[in-house]
Structure 1
Amino acid sequence: MQTSLSWLSTHLDLSSYTVPQLSDLLTFAGVEVEGIEEKGVTTDKVVVAQIQSFVQHPDADKLSVCQVDDGSGTPRQIVCGAKNFKAGDKVPLALPGAVLTGGFTIREGKLRGVDSLGMMCSGKELGLGEDHSGLLIMSPDSPVGTPFNQLNPADVLFDLEITPNRPDLLSHLGLARELAALTGLPLKSERDHAKTATKPKRAAEDQIAIQAAEACPLYTARLIKGVKVGPSPDWLRRRLESIGLRPINSIVDITNFVLMEMGQPLHAFDLDKLNGGIGVRMAAEGEKFLALDGQTYALQTDDLVIADSQRPVAIAGVMGGEETGVTDTTVNVLLESAYFAPSGIRRTSRRLGLSSDSSYRFERGIDPQQVSGASELATKLILSIAGGTAEDVILAAGEAPTLVGEVTLDEDRARKLLGTPDMQGDEIHAILEKLGLTKKSASKQESRWLIPSYRLDLQRPVDLIEEVARVIGLDRVPSRQTAVASPVEAADRAYDFAMNLRQSLASRGFFEAQTLRLISTAQLADNPNTAEPVAVKNPLSEDHTTLRPSIVPGLIATAALNIRQGLHRLRFFELGRVFLQLPKGGSREEERLAILLSGPVSPSSWHAREPQAADIHELVGQIQNLTRTPFEVRPAKENTANFLLTSELRAGNRVLGWIAQLHPARARDIDARHPVYVAELLLSALRQGSTGPTKFEELPRFPGMTRDVAMEVPADLPHAKVATFFASQKHPLFVGAEVFDVFTDPTGTKMAKDRKSIAWTLTYRASDKTLETAEVDAAHTSILSALEKTLPAVVRR
């Protein structure tokens, strides 16, 4: 929220506080200050000047030599590069010695050999907006020689992040109340607008009909006739411009002023464009609405609308309609002030992707007791600025809901929780009273407090204790170390396992990515499995329509981004949650690990300018290093369009995950120079295979012996079956086997087309002695015999 210091100063005198002090005060009270911007000038050396005449610079086509009246009685010569002025215009003139925005000091000097005794300024140079295309042309009524800061006082703009539980701070009055409590300064104005001089009148059914009382408990309307719509006065325009709002016309500007002044959204209708009375109802399915932003929106039955007898004229709490908005020709006005239930406004705003200053406040909750007060304030301003005559009563339908009540505070418990046993009851009472609470009763142990209607967050005794802590300052609350060690639980083990995976992959040159859990519908094509996705009912945008069924789409998007930045050796991983649709309805969540690999196996260097590109076996090897569980790579039954070689990783009957190559066409879409390989693993399956203590083996003391074997097998025999056979051998001398060659002959000349030759190296070793050749030959013969009996293999001897 943008907050003006000069606007705040209309409610309390903050002159004794510096801007940094106010920033610290708000920050330590729980209001985050995201930015501070100084606007305007404080120096008196920027004055109003009138351009008397100007001629072309003798030595520069783009410069003019101007004679200006600065009120001193002597014309002042200024060389200027702007072109948007004429003789007689009044502009801000910075005299020598003036310090402008950014610390820029004005001095006398020469421009292309011509004396220039100051500088005429644009709005940006004075800290007023971003326009620097020309001089700031001032009102013809501005007195020459008057300091600019007298006509346009300097201001400080605070950019505040208001937490959702404090909607009362979304206004200048609300922030003034907060600062009054924190500083002890008295408010110049009323603390709230709950009391009104205008009497409410129960509206007849044909005037205001509320057909959705839960969504709109209270709706009021004030009729003002004979207004003259035009530009707003300078004070009102400056107020709105100080916080970045663009003045539109006097009526709309007044509603915006009241919104930012006291936090109550209002809307003004052109009464003559309404047909019949006001109806507050739910929209009909598919009903269309033309909003003030010029867009037409399709409504649903859970959208609350304000309607006349023929059509919707506003989306309640979000935006008014273009057909009934106030224009320069408006004469009669219906001023709306209402309370809408936050949940309905939030749902409609999110679904339509339509947000406004009004919906932002309604979503968080406004003070229902100030609905009439806001209408009364706006009416007074309309009558004084735009004229006209207002009806003597406010038409009202429904009742303002009571959202707060009384809270009993156990003061002994408050002192104990805060660690301030010396705090007296009178100090506690004074703090709560400064915050606007009313003391109903008090004893030595407890007190009972009536909560003001604007403090919707104060519902429990602990809320009052928190308020006391904020006001006295956390530096007064002592720090204590009361934590105790807790036994290791399943959540701790799961966390440690995930961190070990991260460290293992990072040590191998992989970079951890963090992608969004919401993806677009188009990204679903990058899902390597066929799991049904979970759609979001009210997506924030077209890029966030679906809860991800896989982490892989996010990694592919990350790869595309890095490729565009010039990186082609890709090593990414991410641990995160995926969301899967269940066949019979509902959904479930899983923790997974996704890995993406592409490009050279090692960085390029002087001795290897083009290192070999990684293949799918490189990725399999990386996965093998992550788990102690032996697994097989089996072709998957289903393949998706954007992937090749999709395979399951299985450890017995347990699925560890999937591995695949991105389709070359998809790889070209992201401008990848090398094949892209991805894998996605189930953390629960990986963890299941990694339980139990780590086992270490002594390094062998005796040398091993190897034997090579080549065998002919059917071309369609999976490598996994051969590997499984060797892994199952229990001969005491057999240590292991590795494949080192595969040969096929598509021509059928040297070997049948339906056959292939595989060569393996088998290793033998004894733990207690050096083997003799005969022992190794016997063991080798035994294993080969078993091989031919188990598999359709012919050993080539």
Structure 2
Amino acid sequence: MKFTLSWLKDHLDTSAPVEEIAETLTDLGLEVESVTNPAERLRDFTIGLVLEAEKHPDADRLRVCKVETDQGVKQIICGAPNARAGIRVVVAHPGTYVPGIDTTIQVGKIRGIESHGMMCSEKEMELSEEHDGIIELPGEPPVGMRFVDWLAEHDPAKIDPVIEIAITPNRPDALGVRGIARDLAARGLGTLKPYEVKPVEGRFESPIKVQIDAALKEKGCPHFTGRLIRGVKNGPSPQWLQDRLKAIGLRPISALVDITNFFTYDVNRPLHVFDADIVKGNLRIHPAKGGEEIVALDEKTYRLEPGMMVISDDAGPESIAGIMGGAHSGVTEKTVNVFLESAWWDPVTIAATGRKLKINSDARYRFERGVDPEFTLPGLEAATRMILELCGGEPSDVVADGAPIDTDRAYRFDPERIERLVGMSIPAEVQRATLEALGFRLEGDMAHPPSWRPDIQGEADLVEEIARIASLTKLQGRVLARPEPGVARPILTPMQKRAAAARRQVAALGYNECVTYSFIDRPSAEMFGGGSDETMLENPISSEMSHMRPDLLPGLLQAAARNQARGFA
């Protein structure tokens, strides 16, 4: 899970430096795998002013430039088409490492003329894929100014630190930036900003309806929502959105697709958009009969097996439910009417389908771990609002089938017991504040977990939450109290004492003790009167240990045979 520092601060009001945030995340159980700070690789680049740009005598495409830098006027050979006098550029002096070309700049001759540095493009500095020319800085930034300082003032997204954390399968809520911010706020590293989703009023009735087959409402897809938005313009997404997606390794595609990807990482709410003009009739969520084929967005053809969940229109399958949409109804730059989907899919069914089809997608990764069922409709509303802001259009009424699953459950909250189990002093009011900050609802001595925490399944999980927020690094060793004063009495029974004495005596006489497994294979057990179904394990660790042994002799004979084969007998 990757996110940028500025993205985190959209949800968390904090002034903590990235180093402190990273350390705290690991302490909270969200292990930080890496922190990438672009400013580190750009710290040696400075701003220069091109004074002259003359044609190279031996190369038509090269310019011999005189550049004013913090180290005086330098001669730099440049092949960029926009190299000319009067522009402010980014200079790499000899000895500077340029990450985009994996090269350390040296003084050298190019077609017989010395070059003392390099003027860089955005691609050469790994700022973007732009490489048609060198960077031209607007205005008149001072010569010699560090380029990172200029970026911090004019384009901070370019040097936004990127944090990558490892998420364990039991923490699906941390697959969204907001969930991570919530943990940090509970620790006291800032204040969680409010996240309000206001419903968008529909202006017309959606011509596309949705229906969930009864077989899937119980287990599969209990809740499906959607709405049609007409008259959208699906162009490039705004620069801030592109910068965020690029920072976490995603390729910006179009405004509509980028918006759905944004919500996947922002609040752990996977979405999908259909080209409404391609959808024929209504959408039906149903189990596949088996044998249907669909070309997915990854341009691969998949054959569905019986029971796999699929979204179909009147013409056939349009999406592998909860995993990947179909290419046929995918949005393009020509799309003007879209149908936005937000649904909740059963984790077990999604995991099984994904494994069988060998599809790995962000949607599958999240649905098979569990997303917030109560955020299905709010997620649709939030995405609708962003689509209207960035793409325009007119929204329909929401169409829906089913309802969110009931996640309400409660576990006993006993501060004194929790303090004993954790092993350190945590005042009751601090424990209550911790749970409330994590989204728990407290009613008397019962704690109700939030809908986005499917991993909370008992009182032990309450202890864990309070302990990790309090920080287990604060634990101090304690001497365990004896139940009785004085020297501890022996705990071996007389039978155990006699057996131990017999073992020592027999070993002293030169014998070896043979300890064999209590389970053997069926044929061996049958040879000695065993092997019945009553003595068979339901889940043996191997076929050679499937049945309880009827006698010690089979195991002893097998041990003797193994020893003889190895030359020990």
Q: TM-score range by the shorter chain?
A: 0.7 to 0.9
* 1:171-190 to 2 correspondences below 5 Å: 171-190=176-195
DSSP 3-state at the match of 1:219: strand
DSSP 3-state at the match of 2:368: helix
**1:55–1:66: 8 Å Cα contact kept in structure 2?**
yes
- Displacement after TM superposition at 1:55 (Å): 4.6
Call closer, same or farther: CA 1:329–1:87 in 2, change over 3 Å.
farther
* 1:302 maps to amino acid: G
DSSP 3-state at the match of 2:191: coil
* 1:202-601 to 2 correspondences below 5 Å: 207-211=209-213, 212-213=216-217, 214-391=219-396, 393-420=397-424, 422-441=425-444, 447-479=445-477, 589-590=541-542
Distance 1:87 1:30 in 2: 53
Deviation track 1:469-521 (CA, whole Å, cap 9, x = no partner) reads: 1011112233458799999x9xxxxxxxxxxxxxxxxxxxxxxxxxxxxxxxx
Call closer, same or farther: CA 1:209–1:591 in 2, change over 3 Å.
closer
Distance 1:360 1:39 in 2: 28
Call closer, same or farther: CA 1:91–1:204 in 2, change over 3 Å.
same
Call closer, same or farther: CA 1:262–1:412 in 2, change over 3 Å.
same
Structure of larger gyration radius: 1
Call closer, same or farther: CA 1:144–1:240 in 2, change over 3 Å.
farther
Distance 2:88 2:97 in 1: 15
Q: Which has the higher contact order (CA 8 A, sep 6+)?
A: 2
- Displacement after TM superposition at 1:17 (Å): 2.7
DSSP 3-state at the match of 2:29: coil
- Displacement after TM superposition at 1:277 (Å): 0.7
Distance 1:107 1:293 in 2: 40
**1:46–1:148: 8 Å Cα contact kept in structure 2?**
no
* 1:411 maps to amino acid: P
Call closer, same or farther: CA 1:215–1:185 in 2, change over 3 Å.
same
Call closer, same or farther: CA 1:690–1:300 in 2, change over 3 Å.
closer
**2:220–2:349: 8 Å Cα contact kept in structure 1?**
yes
**2:230–2:394: 8 Å Cα contact kept in structure 1?**
yes
Call closer, same or farther: CA 1:380–1:60 in 2, change over 3 Å.
same
Distance 1:188 1:77 in 2: 50
Q: CA RMSD in A?
A: 4.4
- Displacement after TM superposition at 1:283 (Å): 1.1
Distance 2:382 2:95 in 1: 41
Structure 1 residues without counterparts, runs of 5 or longer: 442-446, 490-583, 593-652, 655-682, 692-719, 721-735, 737-797
- Displacement after TM superposition at 1:66 (Å): 3.4
**1:41–1:100: 8 Å Cα contact kept in structure 2?**
no
Call closer, same or farther: CA 1:123–1:78 in 2, change over 3 Å.
farther
Q: Is the counterpart of residue 29 in structure 1 residue 34 in structure 2?
A: no
- Displacement after TM superposition at 1:232 (Å): 0.9
**1:98–1:105: 8 Å Cα contact kept in structure 2?**
no
Distance 1:107 1:342 in 2: 52
DSSP 3-state at the match of 1:333: strand
TM-score scaled by structure 1?
Answer: 0.55
Deviation track 1:210-232 (CA, whole Å, cap 9, x = no partner) reads: 01212001101121110111111
1:687 is aligned to 559
- Displacement after TM superposition at 1:171 (Å): 1.1
Call closer, same or farther: CA 1:316–1:87 in 2, change over 3 Å.
farther
Distance 2:430 2:94 in 1: 50
- Displacement after TM superposition at 1:179 (Å): 1.3
Q: Is the counterpart of residue 3 in structure 1 residue 8 in structure 2?
A: no
Q: Percent identity?
A: 34
Distance 1:172 1:9 in 2: 9
Distance 2:95 2:322 in 1: 47
Distance 1:205 1:247 in 2: 30
DSSP 3-state at the match of 2:404: coil
Distance 1:135 1:265 in 2: 36
1:120 is aligned to 119
**Greater fraction strand:** 1
- Displacement after TM superposition at 1:687 (Å): 3.2
Distance 1:107 1:234 in 2: 31
Call closer, same or farther: CA 1:28–1:686 in 2, change over 3 Å.
farther
2:199 is aligned to 197
Deviation track 1:713-766 (CA, whole Å, cap 9, x = no partner) reads: xxxxxxx9xxxxxxxxxxxxxxx9xxxxxxxxxxxxxxxxxxxxxxxxxxxxxx
Distance 1:87 1:290 in 2: 50
* 1:233 maps to amino acid: P
Distance 1:273 1:414 in 2: 57
Call closer, same or farther: CA 1:148–1:198 in 2, change over 3 Å.
closer
- Displacement after TM superposition at 1:76 (Å): 6.9
DSSP 3-state at the match of 1:169: helix
Distance 1:486 1:99 in 2: 71
Distance 1:116 1:222 in 2: 60
DSSP 3-state at the match of 1:307: strand
Distance 1:108 1:295 in 2: 47
* 1:460 maps to amino acid: G
2:174 is aligned to 169
Distance 1:164 1:277 in 2: 35
Deviation track 1:133-162 (CA, whole Å, cap 9, x = no partner) reads: 957756x89556492342253122222110
DSSP 3-state at the match of 1:397: strand
* 1:145-164 to 2 correspondences below 5 Å: 145=141, 147-149=150-152, 150-153=154-157, 154-164=159-169
**2:96–2:105: 8 Å Cα contact kept in structure 1?**
no
**2:53–2:63: 8 Å Cα contact kept in structure 1?**
yes
Distance 1:115 1:433 in 2: 67
* 1:94 maps to amino acid: V
**2:14–2:191: 8 Å Cα contact kept in structure 1?**
no
DSSP 3-state at the match of 1:334: strand
- Displacement after TM superposition at 1:88 (Å): 9.6
**Greater fraction helix:** 2
**1:97–1:105: 8 Å Cα contact kept in structure 2?**
no
**2:68–2:74: 8 Å Cα contact kept in structure 1?**
no
Distance 2:127 2:558 in 1: 60
Distance 1:45 1:276 in 2: 60
